[in-house]
Amino acid sequence: MINSFYKPISFLLCLLGSLLFSPAESPAQGRKVNFEKQIWPFLKNSCVDCHRASYKKDGKLKKPKGGLRLDAAWAITLGSEDGAIIDAGKAGESAIYTSVMLPADDDDVMPPEGKADALTEEQKVLLKQWIDEGADFGGWAGSLEGKPKELSNSGGKIPVSEIQEVYKKLAAGLKPTSEQQWNAIVEKGGRVMPLAEQSPLLAVDFRHSEQEVTDDSLAGLSALGNHLALLDLSQTGITDSALGSIGKLERLVRLDLHETQVGDAGVAHLATLKNIRYINLYSTQVSDKGLQQLGKLKSLREVYLWHSKVTAKGVKQLQKKLPNAKIVWK
């Protein structure tokens, strides 16, 4: 009722808007953003140099940065090594948008400062509007090079509310750690953070360590074993033997091992992680044999296997064992 009362008013406002804003492609005009005409040209100009299919330069293989390609509709939908970068309808939750909105001198701003043309205010508004309108590519497909043979997507990403519920359960009755207990990790270049204010659960991250991270760097993990919910070891020098101690982290929910040397022997140690929801094995040595072990982890909801050694057959079998999991691979 209230809605229908306001409709004529919003219609008038729209009309007024289109009279006041005459530039042809102005987002204020109330017309749906056209991806190919209004978004693609500036993505191509400012982003695609770093976010496109792997290619050889001076004999070296250049991979898309962050595992993210922005040169194809399927690739943008697939997202980065960390998962989706667009939450259709919610620009504020979409990394493709939030990463361009960071301050110009932020380490994570896209494009990185000075490396490509920063987006203009108008381009940012268009990008936001396009996502808020549902992130529709229209007829645009982009590059088909490297398109995954099959994308299993029977389950979506885990809803935030569900994850919060998991953390709440795991935190119940757990005493907080003292910062002294963190020392063994911090000394080896790891970062330790409480999962949230007041939460006894911890996140540990070795990814951006300034020190070289090897299996020995992880010795301090056992002291925090009961409290670890998130562990990021991506892009470090760890090997399969480090995973023996990780298999004992009973509250581990998220494990990121992408771009490491980890393979099937390591994954075999993970079959005991009864609270695990997310495992990222993008660009590792894991093959179908390792997937048989992952199939035992009934709590798993998201598995990233892009650029690993798994095959279509192995992924299908894993999907059968984990019907609710989102499995992304190539």
Residues of this chain that bind ligand HEC (CB under 6 A): 46-47, 49-51, 65-66, 68, 80, 82, 85, 95-96, 99-100, 110-112, 115-116, 119
CB of 147 to ligand HEC, least distance (A): 19
CB of 100 to ligand HEC, least distance (A): 5
Instruction: Select from 83, 132, 134 the least CA-distant residue to 326.
Output: 83
Neighbours of 245 (CB within 10 A): 15
Residue placing its CB nearer to ligand HEC in the complex, 40 or 329: 40
Residue identified by tokens 């140690």 is 269
Q: Please give the Cα distance from 270 to 107 (Å, whole number).
A: 33
CB of 95 to ligand HEC, least distance (A): 4
Residue placing its CB nearer to ligand HEC in the complex, 96 or 255: 96
Residues 6+ apart with CB under 8 A from 293: 264, 267, 268, 270, 271
Residues 6+ apart with CB under 8 A from 47: 70, 110, 111, 116
Tell me whether the omega of the peptide bond preceding residue 64 falls within 30 degrees of 0, making it cis: no
Q: Please give the Cα distance from 174 to 200 (Å, whole number).
A: 6
Q: Please give the Cα distance from 25 to 38 (Å, whole number).
A: 8
CB of 107 to ligand HEC, least distance (A): 8
Residue placing its CB nearer to ligand HEC in the complex, 157 or 309: 157
Q: Evaluate the CA torsion angle 46, 150, 311, 262 in order and state its sign.
A: positive
Residue placing its CB nearer to ligand HEC in the complex, 31 or 115: 115
CB of 207 to ligand HEC, least distance (A): 8
Chain centre distance of CA 320: 24
Cβ distance 233 to 207 under 8 Å?
A: yes
Q: Please give the Cα distance from 144 to 135 (Å, whole number).
A: 19
Residue placing its CB nearer to ligand HEC in the complex, 249 or 303: 303
Residue placing its CB nearer to ligand HEC in the complex, 47 or 291: 47
CB of 94 to ligand HEC, least distance (A): 8
Residue placing its CB nearer to ligand HEC in the complex, 124 or 321: 124
CB of 37 to ligand HEC, least distance (A): 17
